[in-house]
Amino acid sequence: MYLPPDRGVIIIENSRSIPTREGGGRISGGLLRSAISFIMFFAVLTSISSAGGNMNCPDCPDWSNFDAWWARYHKNPAAAEPSTPQAARTQAVEARNSSEEVEVERGEYPVASILIRPGDDLEGRVLLDARSPEDYERGHLPGARNLYWRSLRAGDVLDLEVAAGELRRLGVNETDSIVVYGRGDDSAYLFWALDYLGHQDLSLLDGDVEAFPEVGLVQNSPEPAPSNYTPSLRPELLVNESILKEAQGSVRVQIVDTRSSYSDRAASRISNSMYFKPEEIYSDPEARTLKSPEELDQLFLRRGLEDRMVQIVYGTPEACGLYVALKAMGYRATVLDGTWWKRTEFAVSSLS
């Protein structure tokens, strides 16, 4: 639980009651101390609750009432519909915990709308190619516009002004139906960036576009008119230092390291983090196509990931691949972008 820095922590010790004198009405010393401690402890809890638990970080999650905080920012229509696969999966999880049997539709991701397959109808949708300009020029989907994921970053983090400027340059509007594609983690990063910028109608091509020979690539590029794209940020999808500090003491959070290099993890990692090998989410590591919903469900369960908790994934761009998989399965994932955490008090080393 988060405690504001100007309040102390009250420790209630077990006390042995002092017997009262026969026939007397005096309260025992131990009971009196316990009663006073309880009153003071309740007062602290009340003051913390009224402050929302986030006095030093107005945009940080309220871990004492996370569901309400998440709902305030998150506008996922599927989450509000009781008949969606998301609701079916939640029902299945609850049934599993209560030893009841409920059949869930197989072969469908709980949030299936975010994934596009090769051959799906793309008519009327804006295609964004996340690959490098060189790869784009060698061949891209008809009508696709090139938005190289690295061009959106300043240093090693997302630059909001640059991202918004690039979207305006490419003629993207907030109401467009966007399909992102590219090469594995590259396109996953662009998907997450657009998700964070607040784009509602957003999907990702499942797999590396170059891994599907049946997909016809062209070399002519569109020349759209510039737009006035305006982001509508979703603060729950990007972790800053204040949020990381809040999360360190919360039982509602799982911090997940997705970096492939063992030496990087050994040299520096976030305290209280677990490791998840990013390649495990793919049925075909070369084509970068996700495993089936059933396989992902079992994989996440084996790794101890829980959909009732929040996953902070870090190690971009690999983290964004896991972000997409978690999102498709109805989890509440968020991304820690960049390596700034290495300069904080939360960085620890496994090396002596």
Residues 329 and 317 in one domain: yes
Residues 198 and 243 in one domain: no
- 184 near 157, Cβ under 8 Å? no
Residues 158 and 169 in one domain: yes
User: Is 270 domain-assigned?
Assistant: yes
User: Is 74 domain-assigned?
Assistant: no
Residue 340: give its domain's CATH number: 3.40.250.10
Residues 215 and 259 in one domain: no
Calculate the CA 262 to chain-centre distance: 23
| Residues paired with 256 in a beta bridge | 274, 313
DSSP secondary structure letter of residue 218: B
Residues 128 and 36 in one domain: no
User: Is 96 domain-assigned?
Assistant: no
User: Is 67 domain-assigned?
Assistant: no
Residues 250 and 284 in one domain: yes
Residues 176 and 154 in one domain: yes
Please give the biggest Cα pair distance in the chain. 98
User: Is 99 domain-assigned?
Assistant: no
pLDDT of residue 144: 96
DSSP secondary structure letter of residue 119: T
- 147 near 128, Cβ under 8 Å? yes
pTM of the model: 0.74
The Cα 218–Cα 140 span in angstroms is 5
**Ordered per-residue pLDDT tens for the chain, 352 residues:** 333 334 333 333 343 333 444 444 444 455 445 444 444 433 433 333 333 344 455 556 665 566 666 666 555 444 333 344 344 444 444 443 443 333 334 468 999 999 999 889 999 999 999 999 999 999 999 999 999 999 999 999 999 999 999 999 999 999 999 999 998 899 999 999 999 999 999 999 999 998 888 788 999 999 999 999 999 999 999 999 999 999 987 889 999 999 988 889 889 999 999 999 999 999 998 899 999 999 999 999 999 999 999 999 999 999 999 999 999 999 999 999 999 999 999 999 977 5
Number of H helices, E strands in the chain: 11, 15
The Cα 323–Cα 204 span in angstroms is 12
Q: Domain limits at 47?
A: 1-51
Rounded alpha-carbon distances, angstroms, from residue 55 to 72, 241, 242: 18, 15, 11
User: Is 107 domain-assigned?
Assistant: no
